[in-house]
Structure 1
Amino acid sequence: MAPFAVGLSFLLAGCSETPTEITAKQLQWTDTATVQMQLSAGELSSVELVQYYLDQIAANNHSGHDIRAIIEVNPDALALARELDEERQRGYVRSPLHGLPVVLKANIATRDKMATTAGATVMKDFITEKDAALVTQLRAAGAIILGKANLSEWANFRGEDSISGWSGLGGQTRNPYVLTHNPCGSSAGSGAAVAADFSLLAIGTETDGSIMCPASVNGVVGVKATRGAVSGYGIIPIASAQDIAGPMTRYVFGAAVLLDAMTTVEAKSRYGELLAEATKRSFTGESVVVVRAYDDQFSGVKTMTDNLVRTLKSKGVKVIEVNEWNLPEELYASEFEVLLYEFKRDLNSWLAEFGAPATDMQAVIDYNVANADSELALFGQEYFEQAVSIDLDEAAKSYNEALFTSRRLAEAHLDRYLKEQGASAILMPSYGPAWPTPPQEGAGFSFGTSTAAAVSGYPSITLPLGQEGPLPLGLSVVGLPWSEANLFSLAAMLEAELGGFTPPQFLSTVEADLNLTSATTN
């Protein structure tokens, strides 16, 4: 195999007489399909691929552009890559994910030399003896765990005024498109790492918007699969009713490959085909709903939606346009009650089972109070305090009613389009553009559309299809449970027709007027 070349071979890369070698420049913002072909052809090794990303992280995570997307890298990543290269040379390829690097959000347990922390200082250096179920699957598929990604501390469920992308251990993740702007959360590091070219693939987790938002504002693809499609065992929880891990990648095909390796036996049976193969076939839906409720807020959203409608109609798809997307307030109130109750129940259980240094939620609260100058300097821990005060037995009846109500309302909102109107999917802008990270001044968080799918457990995919100035905009594709294959085929078609990932420019600032005419602070 040719050595990794960044010198003379780069200068000669255009000469057909020279042997094929992969250069650092050729690996910039590459895609999964290309890497798979290069590995199969012997043009690239997993060692070379992993070394490229380690170099990228070293250059721009805490220096250079200072993205702060990665909390730590796997010290065994190159050794694992070497083993997988040797397997490939012997003719043994475990799966389409064989030898591909993946970054994991730091709330996903790994039985290795990396800590599992949720970004919290109280969990610093915590090495667990257990892999999360999805990590076991990824290892079996031949994925290389490259590192742990920064996140909004405790998956953005610590305090009311939390700053997305900030954790005590990782600091503030920055948006690669405009460095003063927010990467959203809680899977901020996973989204920023993929956008900044720190990894080919990443995994985030979502309770409500924690994959959809950072994928959207970092200009990458994010997938929240049907409830139960991915095992939640080993993920530091907020609430098992809604928590789920999912891919964050630059292109739709890569997300499908990664999700194929993570899904449960039931999910594979329900899908009936590999999701990666579904991206290569034609979309079979006859009609879709397009939500235009946010067209008047951002010129980029209107342009994205206009292009979307035009493309769908040109493909013979019937488009049902709707001008509102208002969920009932009762849904949000019920959802929050569920999250608080399950947060106490599920987090205490996880901390005890995995032997964490913080033995329960109260221990976390006490640690933060004792170290308030550093831990509570930017925002508080109101959600921890509210959750710890709940008597789980006394609140059980109210919790069960809230769970039933929130799911009923979320399902009803989606079903009036997906079932009553027979639409194959609902398409809508995922989130508004990224906003300045405090203490920067400017228009703040504007809108998000993740809640209905998050609470109902219906699948959703967000992919980059628009821009507001230099900031990316994502489009969400939502469908009925277990319709991921058809959603992937639709997302792949839209990516091919309208363009997808656009590499960031790492701008230091952005002009104040980005036509954020109706943005509001959160």
Structure 2
Amino acid sequence: MSLIRVPLFVLAFAPALALAAQDPALARLSLAQAQQLQQQGKLSSETLAGYYLAQITALDKQGPALHAVTDINPAALTQAKALDAERRAGKIRGPLHGIPVVLKANIATADQMPTTAGALVLKDFKTSVDAQLVSQLRAAGAVILGKTNLSEWANFRGEGSASGWSALGGQTKNPYVLSQSPCGSSSGSGVAVAADLTLLAVGTETDGSITCPAAINNVVGIKPTHGAVSGHGIIPIASSQDIAGPMTRNVADAAALLQVIATPEAQQRYGDLNAAVGRQPVKQVVPTVVLVRHYDKDFPAIAKMLDQLKQHLTALGVSVKERQSWQLPDQVYQDEFNVLVYEYKRDLNQWLQDFNAPPAAKDINSIIKFNRQQGKTALAFFGQQYLEQAQAIDLVKQQADYQQARQRSAQQAAALLDEDLVDGALVIVPATGPAWAIDHIKGDQYNFGSASAAAISGYPSLTLPAGFDGHLPLGVSIIGKPWQEARIIGLAHALEQQRGPVAEPTYRSSL
């Protein structure tokens, strides 16, 4: 099993990359710091890309062997040099000019990197078209550094999966405690940012796939308003909930990345997200926060985290209301699953056709047959029940039931949030509990997740590092009404300043 492809050009530049990795001035740079160094002529894009390539070699392939990065762009240094030449000529494309970014491996790129969703059936599959968000990143001057591992098929292959594992990428590890889950499905993107393998990353979410890995790996993740980022070119689960979003080490960087990858229509609605960072006073933008204390009793570390967060909010002049119970009806989850399985058949089959997937992956039925023929090589650790359930769907006969389930679940998810999102209030809820142990026999042992309400309703949320349970990071999600990303970003940045710097990964082998 190949866990990372290191092209020959990386080996050829090995001495230079080693020097870059030894420069402490480049460690854990923010976007603002990188921009300033570039403007001052103290840092080139080529050097910065080289630093991250060296970091990937040292930490992802060797050392703790994080398995966060599946593919390196062999043209990354060439692209970086070309962007350096543009800068010298006075052409600056914007805030991301010359800045490295990694993409989840379900995002199509028209280059030498495959687009695989981590699945064996798509090994080495290259697309001829960029996803829309990739075209926007290239136009903004970003350097596409590589692709990141994920829970295979964005964690929608079968029951009993372990987050962060795919047939092509192996098991991504949590950089804080290597034995614990990195959560998924955007596990590689979260870990790559946390471990300083990149400056910026893009993840995708259907329900919790940005939120959970952001919290568990101590990084910032934004799950935007549904439709705010184009889904074109992203291997889908379900178009009614799928959305791509930023994963970064701080709020300002996430805002800058979202500003670039948002659709033109979303950009018009947002205005300047960068200006939302540091907008004061916060209490005029967000007068009230509803703080969800539903999980305090079972998780003392979360209760302590929320006590501290309440102090920070009060110091900012924000009024805090506390909510003790916060839960969706059980029927919502069954409706959601029925919607996802229905749309999976419809949307994945269409994507495979539109992007000319290989014959073995021309549709879901072909994928199921391929996996059965390959046996444990393709189906290690768990099965493909979700693919099989999707294949069994009759898109015509079950359309009415699907539409009813979609409408019912979306209304109930929105209703839970709308109870509190009144008079300018935002909701803050713990994102998930501490990371559980990686287990390839029993699969994920989730404690809880709070992403579903925003995921199903399409409301935006930002996940922010906010505390620890022992050695394991904890995070909170800030949720608002559709298109309120600027207000959410403003509050998150203010809380980030109150909180101070987060602890860096320690790469402990176990608890």
| Cα shift at 1:160 | 1.1
- CA distance in structure 2 between the aligned counterparts of 1:448 and 1:324, rounded to whole angstroms: 14
Q: Aligned runs of 1:343-382 on 2, under 5 Å? A: 343-357=344-358, 358-382=361-385
Q: Which amino acid aligns with 2:304?
A: T
For 1:487, the equivalent position in structure 2 comes to: 488
Identity of aligned residues (%): 53
| Cα shift at 1:377 | 2.6
For 2:12, the equivalent position in structure 1 comes to: none
SS at match of 1:237: coil
For 1:122, the equivalent position in structure 2 comes to: 121
| Cα shift at 1:500 | 4.5
For structure 1, which segment, 72-81 or 28-37, has the greater mean C-alpha deviation from structure 2 after superposition?
Answer: 28-37
For 2:151, the equivalent position in structure 1 comes to: 152
Q: Which amino acid aligns with 1:374?
A: T
Task: Report if aligned partners of 2:200, 2:247 keep a CA contact under 8 Å in 1.
Answer: yes
Task: Report if aligned partners of 2:17, 2:51 keep a CA contact under 8 Å in 1.
Answer: no
Q: Aligned runs of 1:97-496 on 2, under 5 Å? A: 97-271=96-270, 273-282=271-280, 283=282, 284-357=285-358, 358-419=361-422, 422-439=423-440, 444-496=445-497
Aligned residue pairs total 492
Task: Report if aligned partners of 1:180, 1:509 keep a CA contact under 8 Å in 2.
Answer: yes
| Cα shift at 1:424 | 2.2
TM-score of the two chains, using structure 2 as the length reference: 0.94
| Cα shift at 1:318 | 0.8
Runs of 5+ in structure 1 lacking a partner?
11-21, 511-522
- CA distance in structure 2 between the aligned counterparts of 1:442 and 1:383, rounded to whole angstroms: 15
For structure 1, which segment, 430-439 or 197-206, has the greater mean C-alpha deviation from structure 2 after superposition?
Answer: 430-439
For 1:14, the equivalent position in structure 2 comes to: none
Task: Report if aligned partners of 2:163, 2:183 keep a CA contact under 8 Å in 1.
Answer: yes
For 2:41, the equivalent position in structure 1 comes to: 42
- CA distance in structure 1 between the aligned counterparts of 2:190 and 2:312, rounded to whole angstroms: 27
SS at match of 2:420: helix
- CA distance in structure 1 between the aligned counterparts of 2:131 and 2:508, rounded to whole angstroms: 37
- CA distance in structure 2 between the aligned counterparts of 1:374 and 1:44, rounded to whole angstroms: 44
For 2:64, the equivalent position in structure 1 comes to: 65
Task: Report if aligned partners of 1:431, 1:474 keep a CA contact under 8 Å in 2.
Answer: yes
TM-score of the two chains, using structure 1 as the length reference: 0.92
- CA distance in structure 2 between the aligned counterparts of 1:6 and 1:52, rounded to whole angstroms: 8
- CA distance in structure 2 between the aligned counterparts of 1:111 and 1:318, rounded to whole angstroms: 49
Task: Note the alpha carbon deviations across 1:269-306, whole angstroms, 9 max, x for none.
Answer: 111x2112211212211111000111122222111100
| Cα shift at 1:501 | 3.2
| Cα shift at 1:373 | 2.1
Task: Report if aligned partners of 1:133, 1:232 keep a CA contact under 8 Å in 2.
Answer: yes
| Cα shift at 1:411 | 0.6
- CA distance in structure 2 between the aligned counterparts of 1:428 and 1:62, rounded to whole angstroms: 35
Q: Which amino acid aligns with 2:245?
A: G
Q: Using a 3 Å threshold, how does the CA distance of structure 1 residues 339 and 29 change in structure 2: closer, same or farther?
A: same
Q: Using a 3 Å threshold, how does the CA distance of structure 1 residues 509 and 386 change in structure 2: closer, same or farther?
A: same
SS at match of 2:419: helix
Task: Report if aligned partners of 1:223, 1:246 keep a CA contact under 8 Å in 2.
Answer: yes
- CA distance in structure 2 between the aligned counterparts of 1:216 and 1:334, rounded to whole angstroms: 26
| Cα shift at 1:241 | 0.1
Task: Report if aligned partners of 1:250, 1:501 keep a CA contact under 8 Å in 2.
Answer: no
- CA distance in structure 1 between the aligned counterparts of 2:17 and 2:130, rounded to whole angstroms: 35
- CA distance in structure 2 between the aligned counterparts of 1:425 and 1:371, rounded to whole angstroms: 49
Q: Which amino acid aligns with 1:27?
A: L
Task: Report if aligned partners of 2:175, 2:194 keep a CA contact under 8 Å in 1.
Answer: yes
Task: Report if aligned partners of 2:158, 2:386 keep a CA contact under 8 Å in 1.
Answer: yes
- CA distance in structure 1 between the aligned counterparts of 2:127 and 2:49, rounded to whole angstroms: 24
Task: Report if aligned partners of 2:167, 2:380 keep a CA contact under 8 Å in 1.
Answer: no
- CA distance in structure 2 between the aligned counterparts of 1:214 and 1:66, rounded to whole angstroms: 18
Q: Which amino acid aligns with 2:492?
A: A
For structure 1, which segment, 322-331 or 448-457, has the greater mean C-alpha deviation from structure 2 after superposition?
Answer: 322-331
Q: CA RMSD in A?
A: 1.7
Q: Using a 3 Å threshold, how does the CA distance of structure 1 residues 27 and 239 change in structure 2: closer, same or farther?
A: same
Task: Report if aligned partners of 2:161, 2:440 keep a CA contact under 8 Å in 1.
Answer: no
Task: Note the alpha carbon deviations across 1:71-96, whole angstroms, 9 max, x for none.
Answer: 01000000000000000011110010
Task: Note the alpha carbon deviations across 1:437-488, whole angstroms, 9 max, x for none.
Answer: 0159999321110000000000000010100011100111000010000100
Q: Using a 3 Å threshold, how does the CA distance of structure 1 residues 224 and 443 change in structure 2: closer, same or farther?
A: closer
- CA distance in structure 2 between the aligned counterparts of 1:441 and 1:378, rounded to whole angstroms: 9
Task: Report if aligned partners of 1:225, 1:459 keep a CA contact under 8 Å in 2.
Answer: yes
Q: Using a 3 Å threshold, how does the CA distance of structure 1 residues 384 and 40 change in structure 2: closer, same or farther?
A: same
SS at match of 1:147: strand
SS at match of 1:398: helix
Task: Report if aligned partners of 2:162, 2:443 keep a CA contact under 8 Å in 1.
Answer: no
- CA distance in structure 2 between the aligned counterparts of 1:498 and 1:63, rounded to whole angstroms: 33
Task: Report if aligned partners of 1:289, 1:423 keep a CA contact under 8 Å in 2.
Answer: no
Task: Note the alpha carbon deviations across 1:395-436, whole angstroms, 9 max, x for none.
Answer: 0000110110011001101001003xx242100111111110
Q: Which amino acid aligns with 1:117?
A: T
